[in-house]
Amino acid sequence: ETILVQELANRMAERVADVVKSLMKMGVMATMNQSIDADTAELVIEEFGHKVVRVSDADVEQVIDMIEDAPESLRSRPPIITIMGHVDHGKTSLLDAIRKTSVVSGEAGGITQHIGAYQVTTDTGAVLSFLDTPGHAAFTSMRARGANVTDIVVLVVSAEDAVMPQTIEAINHAKAAKVPMIVAINKIDRPDANPQKVRTDLLQHEVVVEAMSGDVQDVEVSALTGQGLDQLLEAIALQAEILELKANPDRSAMGAVIEAKLDVGRGPVATVLVQNGTLRKGDIFVVGEQWGKVRALINDKGERVDEAGPSVPVEVLGLNGTPEAGDVLNVVDTEAQAREIADYRLQASKDKRAAAGAATTLEQLMAKAKDDQNVAELPIVLKADVQGSAEAIVQAMEKIGNDEVRVRVLHYGVGAITESDIGLAEASGAPVFGFNVRANAPARNSANQKGVEIRYYSVIYDLVDDVKAAASGLLSNEI
């Protein structure tokens, strides 16, 4: 049993390029015109959050729950927001302040529990779901596992310090994920606050806020005094309206794990953010390499609920093991199916780990990029010892492009290659270039585990030449 990559993409209603990328992540190099076996197809289908039903053990056949949601079945759903920004700029304070607004407004039934995400209702009645883990590390590692849960990024920038290194990282992580941003200029209560500097600093990173005639909303806030919080929530609600976020509440649920732990009293507990459908008590599900039957659902107010619809975060009890953040949950019909898929994935991930030594090469990355529609785009992450070199390399990279091939620098900066760089590279299928800098130990380990390629250079010409060679090799390959 095999299926064409193109056909698989069509049946899932996903972009071919995304399917090819997903295959790359599993270590399978296939173009749209090649066939893959049923087992691999099943993994891809799960990866995209579609449902696979195995009809029998021997004849592994996929019946994708593709009953594509009819337009009339779609309802608007709340946006899911992640807060990012430099350390100490007020991410945690802002999350707490927003959480409190909802308690003050009396909407919350009790004290809000920390389950990994919470919902608030704005004065105008819009419901917003906030992820409780701020920062781009969590955001990008979820994305690397295939869970794109964030709809909107709120970039917190302190009006005292303006743009700092992690602000830039956050901008680039959000851009790489193509998630729209809203800028919250925080600590506006401070006497030395200079919000205008934040706006002009951001210009240098191609974030043009509305106050500078751009299209990125910016709001001055104080997490300390609560000033501007209502405006920030309204800005988010407005952005959400523009995005027209929709889901079908009347189908079996699929969602993403945002937190999971082994609780002494309750056993394995996972907080799941429902992305489509409605999750109910008694549902049988598979989640990553684990499966279970929903014994109880607990919302962000600590209340037991019978069901959770799109964009609602709930704690799920009844798992047979602890999944990982970023794992996708799918409701299936029978325990046998759930167990079978979980076992299958366990085996697949063992196989994958065994094959992890084989890192992708620059050439493979270029070849993969070629499959993306017309213009092949090679994403790269660059770290250098000094700003001048970094900029010189970025300029040279930009010149390599022509009509068919383009190099896209996702992020560049000064200093050692860090885990954050590896995370971004993994999520985007990019290699990391170090110019006169090395990767630190955690980054090296992480790169080994994830199969991210790191290349070191000390001569700009060599670096540019390697990328050029890969690019031209790619061009000459096609007639």
Strand pairing report for 80-85 and 75-76: unpaired
How many residues lie near ligand GDP (CB under 6 A)?
16
Question: Under rule CB under 6 A, which residues in 86-105 are in contact with ligand GDP?
Answer: 87-93
Q: Is 133 among the annotated ligand-binding positions?
A: yes
With respect to ligand GDP, which residue has the nearer C-beta, 231 or 448?
231
Residue selected from 81, 176, 182, 223 as contacting ligand GDP according to rule CB under 6 A: 223
Q: Is 263 among the annotated ligand-binding positions?
A: no
Query: Could you say whether residue 400 binds ligand GDP (CB under 6 A)?
Result: no
- Is-contact 1 37, C-beta < 8 A? yes
Query: Could you say whether residue 224 binds ligand GDP (CB under 6 A)?
Result: yes
Q: Is 293 among the annotated ligand-binding positions?
A: no
Phi–psi pair at 397, nearest 5 degrees = -65, -40
Query: Could you say whether residue 164 binds ligand GDP (CB under 6 A)?
Result: no
With respect to ligand GDP, which residue has the nearer C-beta, 202 or 316?
202
Residue in the structure block whose two tokens are 């006169």: 436
CA distances from 128 to 99, 122, 152, 272 (A): 11, 8, 10, 16
Q: Is 188 among the annotated ligand-binding positions?
A: yes
Q: Is 115 among the annotated ligand-binding positions?
A: no
Three-state secondary-structure class, residue 151: coil
Residue in the structure block whose two tokens are 């690019």: 471
Amino acid, single-letter form, for residue 223: A
Question: Under rule CB under 6 A, which residues in 440-469 are in contact with ligand GDP?
Answer: none
Residue-by-residue DSSP string for 405-458: EEEEEEEEEESSB-HHHHHHHHHHT--EEEES--B-HHHHHHHHHHT--EEEES
Q: Is 136 among the annotated ligand-binding positions?
A: yes
With respect to ligand GDP, which residue has the nearer C-beta, 50 or 86?
86
Question: Under rule CB under 6 A, which residues in 124-143 are in contact with ligand GDP?
Answer: 134
Q: Please state the closest distance from residue 111 (CB atom) to ligand GDP, in A.
A: 20
Q: Please state the closest distance from residue 196 (CB atom) to ligand GDP, in A.
A: 17
Q: Is 374 among the annotated ligand-binding positions?
A: no
With respect to ligand GDP, which residue has the nearer C-beta, 171 or 430?
171
Amino acid, single-letter form, for residue 367: A
With respect to ligand GDP, which residue has the nearer C-beta, 100 or 251?
100
Question: Under rule CB under 6 A, which residues in 170-209 are in contact with ligand GDP?
Answer: 186-187, 189-190
Q: Order across the sheet with 405-414: list the strands.
A: 405-414, 376-384, 432-435, 454-457
- H/E/C letters for each residue in 222-258? CCCCCCCHHHHHHHHHHHHHHHCCEECCCCECEEEEE
Per-residue interface string for the shown chain with ligand GDP, residues 352-381, x marking contact by CB under 6 A: ------------------------------
Q: Please state the closest distance from residue 167 (CB atom) to ligand GDP, in A.
A: 11
Stretch that binds ligand GDP, among 82-90, 113-121, 142-150, 380-388 (CB under 6 A): 82-90
Question: At how many degrees (to 10) do helices 419-428 and 441-450 cross?
Answer: 20
Q: Please state the closest distance from residue 227 (CB atom) to ligand GDP, in A.
A: 8
Residue-by-residue DSSP string for 312-378: -EEEEEEESS---TTPEEEEES-HHHHHHHHHHHHHHHHHHHHHTTSPPPHHHHHHHHHTSSSSEEE
With respect to ligand GDP, which residue has the nearer C-beta, 83 or 365?
83
Three-state secondary-structure class, residue 20: helix
Q: Please state the closest distance from residue 221 (CB atom) to ligand GDP, in A.
A: 7
The total number of residues written for the chain in this structure = 479
Q: Please state the closest distance from residue 419 (CB atom) to ligand GDP, in A.
A: 18
Q: Please state the closest distance from residue 170 (CB atom) to ligand GDP, in A.
A: 11
Q: Is 468 among the annotated ligand-binding positions?
A: no
Distance CA 476, CA 470 (A): 10
With respect to ligand GDP, which residue has the nearer C-beta, 156 or 176?
156
Stretch that binds ligand GDP, among 220-228, 261-269, 298-306, 334-342 (CB under 6 A): 220-228
Q: Is 91 among the annotated ligand-binding positions?
A: yes
Could you tell me the two tokens for 441? 């130990």
Q: Is 85 among the annotated ligand-binding positions?
A: yes
CB burial class (10 A; 0-12, 13-18, 19+) of residue 230?
A: middle
Q: Give residues in contact with ligand GDP (CB under 6 A).
A: 85, 87-93, 134, 186-187, 189-190, 222-224
- Annotation: binding site: 85-92, 132-136, 186-189
- Annotation: binding site for GTP: 85-92, 132-136, 186-189
